[in-house]
Structure 1
């Protein structure tokens, strides 16, 4: 059987999602807990997106393939459904900064990574002294200069759509930097906090934080509104585009198609992106 697991975590004390020898990671903690609860030598999951060091998540999604008999055996004599017992027992041994929100059986065609239609991130900034709340300092970036959200939103329009985002990604051999951003917009929450919402089919390494760094540079008046589009057109990584700190970034949600469309979605996302598609 294939199980979808929805996770949330505070990334402040994790060295990102992916397992790394000798370092505390979300994947390392989670897979160790799974192996313990399911009484397996090891457990391996596939995740929707590997978050970087310090990045938080409310809506991370992973999947796990498991023999049904192993799940039933792990539940023991619990009167609850086995997946309910699994969630309860996982949360009983996981650290407080990592929680399982739910677990559900899904079709074999579901893939936490390749079935995803989009990922939605939020980036939160306190850009005025009266908005800085020390109680949320691990989740909101404190900025010393006020941000011009109108200028940032005007600049963001040049980044919408299908593009090669090489200017905003840390290069990885064999990995494409072609992505489609469907939403990139700043607004203020009732508390006064400035929050950016960004939605794309996928993100490459450090892409969201580089986008935020670029737009905040414009929002502080240190570059013109046209600078974001100019950097995009350059199609090469430049130290002039700062990578914003991880502290303000949260993976909020991952979207998936209806069950009947899962198989077709896998074919689309596993196909190589054609650079000719990009303007």
Structure 2
């Protein structure tokens, strides 16, 4: 993986890929030897369409878990200059012909200086979709919407969400990884029911740790259906330890919707700053631990 601060190595060009995928039949983003993954699928397609003997490794903004979808995922890859020059005009169309129908690359562009898909990002926005309709989920949406079989109070869930926003140690809502911080800045967490009864949680943060979004959603659903009081999710957060009552909801309701980046002239600065070790109250403008980032996310 090319995580260098300055960009592509000499003789190479950094390419940004904007992509989406249906996570149902993928074992997550990260390449695995014996399982189908999004990274493996795209890297194999790149090797094939460029007629290369080597695999060009992708770096991604958010490493989604098995079953999680993406509409606005971003990755980068460093290609040799001669490979890029030969294939740049036809690369997008050739990838479309080679990739399976559940993953699409929408843009292939030369990245500006300092760009790193992972470390230059300043926020990631996810959506989790659920319905409490007594009849269940619309069959056409069943792969993207969770059915909750208790009526949900959206106002109560929004009230409970308010206490979770801001910079906190989200250890109570994350699966810990050795040496990685669980401090995050949750910029947005709100719920809205649409005209069809689908309730969407919009969750935006500088970065996320493993199981964070799905754990937050699980806690807030308990508030929405009346099993827990509005104050309970904040009390769990303050306790700082995993609570067995917090359920990690199923992955199929979760979609990475968008990744935000600063202006081009600030990409390199963000790339460098985001690798700093983070502590509470450090005022690092949303910086994340370089050993963690969005790895194994949500």
TM-score norm. by structure 2 comes to 0.88
Number of aligned residue pairs: give it: 270
Q: Distance in 2 between matches of 1:131 and 1:193?
A: 11
Structure 1 segments, 4+ long, off by >4 Å, are none
Determine the structure 1 residue equivalent to 2:113: 108
1:195 & 1:154 partners in 2: Cα distance? 15
Distance, in Å, in 1 between the alignment partners of 2:135 and 2:225 is 18
Partner of 1:66: 79
Q: Is the contact between residue 131 and residue 192 of structure 1 (CA under 8 Å) also seen in structure 2? A: no
Match of 2:258 in 1: 253
1:13 Cα offset (Å): 0.5
The aligned counterpart of 1:185 is 190
What is residue 157 of structure 1 aligned with on the other side? Answer: 162
**Superposition deviation, residue 139 in structure 1:** 0.5
- Pick from 240, 263, 266 the counterpart of residue 268 of structure 2: 263
| 2:18 equivalent to 1:13 | no
Structure 2 regions of 5+ residues with no counterpart? Answer: 1-12, 284-298
* CA apart distance, 1:107: 2.1
| 1:131–1:193 Cα contact (<8 Å) kept | no
Residue 277 of structure 1: how far off its partner (Å): 4.0
Q: 1:195 to 1:36 in 2, by over 3 A?
A: same
**Structure 1 residues 91-240: aligned runs within 5 Å:** 91-129=96-134, 132-240=137-245
Return the match for 2:56 from 24, 40, 43.
43
The structure in which a higher percent of residues are helix is 1
- Using the TM superposition, give the Cα deviation of residue 124 of structure 1 relative to its aligned residue in structure 2, in angstroms: 0.5
- Counterpart Cα distance in 2 of 1:66 and 1:27: 16
**Structure 1 gaps, min length 5:** 76-81
Q: Residue 25 of structure 2 contacts residue 67 of structure 2 at CA under 8 Å; is this kept in 1?
A: yes
Instruction: State the match for 1:79 in structure 2.
Output: none
Three-state SS of the structure 2 residue aligned to 1:95 is coil
Cα separation, 2, equivalents of 1:239 and 1:35: 44
CA distance in 2, matches of 1:233, 1:55: 28
